[in-house]
Each structure stands twice: as structure tokens, then as C-alpha cells.
């Protein structure tokens, strides 16, 4: 499938999805979300891919939000379908076996913040801006913003951002725990790729297990979360990469993980 609204590049075990509507500040509409969903399918089917990066083209926006020109003409039922389908794409991102890094290069507002939060963690340019400004339009976040934001930064900050529509800097986003690291704009992708390559060098089974257990454990109590970890710990031992990693340690050499599961 060819894409009209995104770019998909796969190199050295790393898949990069770039939302490619710079004239529209990479705004999300049903077509964009459908293409992201298809890209995720292709990435999931490619066993050579161990890490993904999500970013936006141009120097102004990561994803500036949902396409208001489309939303303004939606009926309530069309809006519901748009919200539900968008949430399904973000849930798919969270459920994928491989980790995904959001490289936020500019405005990440509304749906932009929401899609970034569905990644495993966020790196941001010093120029990046975050926020859930839907309330300024008389509506609310529809791609999981009221739920993921509170889980990441706590209810106080999440409520303030959603109830005021305030847009915050990358540095403040880092201080409240939304963003992991902030870099000069010209260094963002290089630093993101450095981390992506580091993760891609690890065992695929271990990457998958850590992501799945941490995501699922977030919704249960500590005892049940630890029980999930025990099972995942045992299952990880069945992978060829586990044998290679343990053997390499004893032989005092660098492991050569094959990514087999």
C-alpha cells in the first residue's frame, strides 16, 4: 500500500513513521489515522523491525491536532466513530511487541499529545509545545487524552491542562513527567535514533516482555503486576536470545542477539 499522508522508512531494524502533511501542520484526519494503522500492520509483520519511531515532517509540527476542517462538519455519530477509530489505532500502538519512541519536533496539541502518549516514551525538541486545548473549541479530548495524561503526570496536572487548554513548553512537559528528554531541534532525531539503535541491539523477546508487562501491570495492583512479571520472566528464558545473553556474559563477550522469539 502506498501512503499519501505519512512516510514509512525501515532501516537497521528501526521503522520510522512520519506524519507528512506539513502544510496542515500534520493534522490528523480519518485518512491519516487509517494510513498509520496500515503502517503499524506492516511493521508488526516485519520480524526484522525491533523499534519504531513516530515523528512529523517539517520544522513546525509533530502533530498539531485533529483536522478541524473535517471535525467541524461531522455529525455526533461521525465524531464518535472518529474518536473510536483513533483510539483503536493508539491502543494498537501500545499493544505492539516493539517499543515506539515519539520524537516530537514541534507542536503536539490535542491529538498530537495523545498520539505521543501512546508511544512508550517521548523525546522532544526545545521547540516542541504540548497541550490538550480541545476545551477552547467547546469539546474534550477524544483520543484518550483524559485517561493517558492523568496516568502519566497525575490528575492535578492533567486536569489543569485539559480544563484550561493551556499549552506548555517542552521543558515544563519534562518537569511534570510527560517528556523523558529535551534536545536542541537539530539534535532531536540523531538522539532519538541513538536510543532506538541501543534498544534494537537488545533481545526481541525481552523488549516485548518488558513493554507488555509494564503496560498491563499499570492497570492492576502490585501483587498481580509482580505475578505477571514472574510469568514473563520465565517465558523470556525460553528465547534463544536469553541463552545467548547469559552465555555471552559468562564468556565475557558482547552478546549477538538474533531477535528470535
What does the pLDDT look like over 103-116, one tens digit per residue? 999 999 999 999 99
Domain extent, residue 177, equals: 6-200
Beta-strand pair 107-109/129-131: parallel
Average pLDDT value for residue range 205-231: 94
Catalytic, 134? Answer yes
pLDDT tens digits for range 90-99:
999 999 999 9
- Catalytic site residue 31? no
Query: Confidence class of residue 1 from pLDDT cuts 50, 70 and 90?
Result: low
Confirm whether 178 is domain-assigned: yes
Q: How far from 3 is each of 105, 117, 119, 152, CA to CA, in Å?
A: 21, 24, 21, 32
Mean pLDDT in the chain? 95
- The confidence score (pLDDT) of residue 112 equals 97
The reply to whether 210 falls in a domain is yes
Asked whether residue 257 is assigned to any structural domain, the reply reads no
Domain co-membership, 191 together with 126:
yes
Same domain, yes or no, for 196 and 217? Answer: no
Q: Is the pLDDT of residue 176 over 90?
A: yes
State CA 159 to chain mean position distance. Answer: 22
Is residue 258 in a domain? no
Give yes or no: residues 195 and 222 share one domain: no
Residue 258: predicted pLDDT: 84
CATH number at residue 214: 1.10.12.10
Residue 193 lies in a domain: yes
Asked if 208 and 169 sit in the same domain, the reply is: no
Q: Are residues 212 and 125 in the same domain?
A: no
Residue 261 belongs to a domain: no
Q: Please report whether residue 1 resides in a domain.
A: no
Same domain, 19 and 112: yes
pLDDT at 14: 97
List 134, 186, 244, 260, catalytic entry: 134
Residue 154 in domain: yes
Residue 97 burial by Cβ neighbours in a 10 Å radius (0-12, 13-18, 19+): middle
pTM: 0.94
| Number of separate domains in the chain | 2
Domain check: are 119 and 21 in the same one? yes
- The number of CA neighbours under 13 Å toward the Cβ of 21 is 19
221 with 120, same domain: the answer is no
Judge if 193 and 233 occupy the same domain: no
| pLDDT value of residue 260 | 72
**Selected catalytic residue, list 114, 126, 160, 229:** 114
Amino acid at each position: 500500500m502506498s501512503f499519501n499522508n505519512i512516510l514509512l522508512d525501515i532501516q537497521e531494524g528501526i521503522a520510522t513513521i512520519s506524519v507528512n502533511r506539513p502544510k496542515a501542520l500534520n493534522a490528523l484526519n480519518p485518512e491519516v489515522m487509517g494510513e498509520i494503522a496500515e503502517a503499524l500492520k506492516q511493521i508488526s509483520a516485519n520480524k526484522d523491525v525491533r523499534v519504531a519511531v513516530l515523528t512529523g515532517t517539517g520544522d513546525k509540527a509533530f502533530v498539531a491536532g485533529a483536522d478541524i476542517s473535517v471535525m467541524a462538519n461531522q455529525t455526533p455519530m461521525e465524531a464518535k466513530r472518529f474518536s473510536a477509530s483513533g483510539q483503536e489505532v493508539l491502543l494498537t500502538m501500545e499493544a505492539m511487541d516493539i517499543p515506539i519512541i515519539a520524537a516530537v519536533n514541534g507542536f503536539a496539541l490535542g491529538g498530537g499529545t495523545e498520539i505521543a502518549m501512546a508511544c512508550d516514551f517521548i523525546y522532544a525538541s526545545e521547540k516542541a509545545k504540548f497541550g490538550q486545548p480541545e476545551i477552547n473549541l467547546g469539546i474534550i479530548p477524544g483520543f484518550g487524552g483524559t485517561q493517558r495524561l492523568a496516568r502519566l503526570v497525575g490528575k492535578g496536572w492533567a486536569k489543569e491542562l485539559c480544563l484550561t487548554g493551556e499549552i506548555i513548553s517542552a521543558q515544563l512537559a519534562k518537569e511534570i513527567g510527560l517528556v523523558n528528554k529535551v534536545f536542541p531541534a537539530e539534535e532531536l532525531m540523531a538522539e532519538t535514533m541513538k536510543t532506538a539503535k541501543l534498544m534494537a541491539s537488545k533481545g526481541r523477546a525481552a523488549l516485548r516482555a518488558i513493554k507488555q508487562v509494564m503496560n498491563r501491570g499499570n492497570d492492576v495492583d502490585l501483587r498481580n503486576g509482580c505475578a505477571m512479571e514472574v510469568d514473563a520472566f520465565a517465558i523470556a528464558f525460553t528465547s534463544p536470545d536469553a541463552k545467548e545473553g547469559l552465555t555471552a556474559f559468562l564468556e565475557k563477550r558482547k552478546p549477538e542477539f538474533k531477535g528470535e522469539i
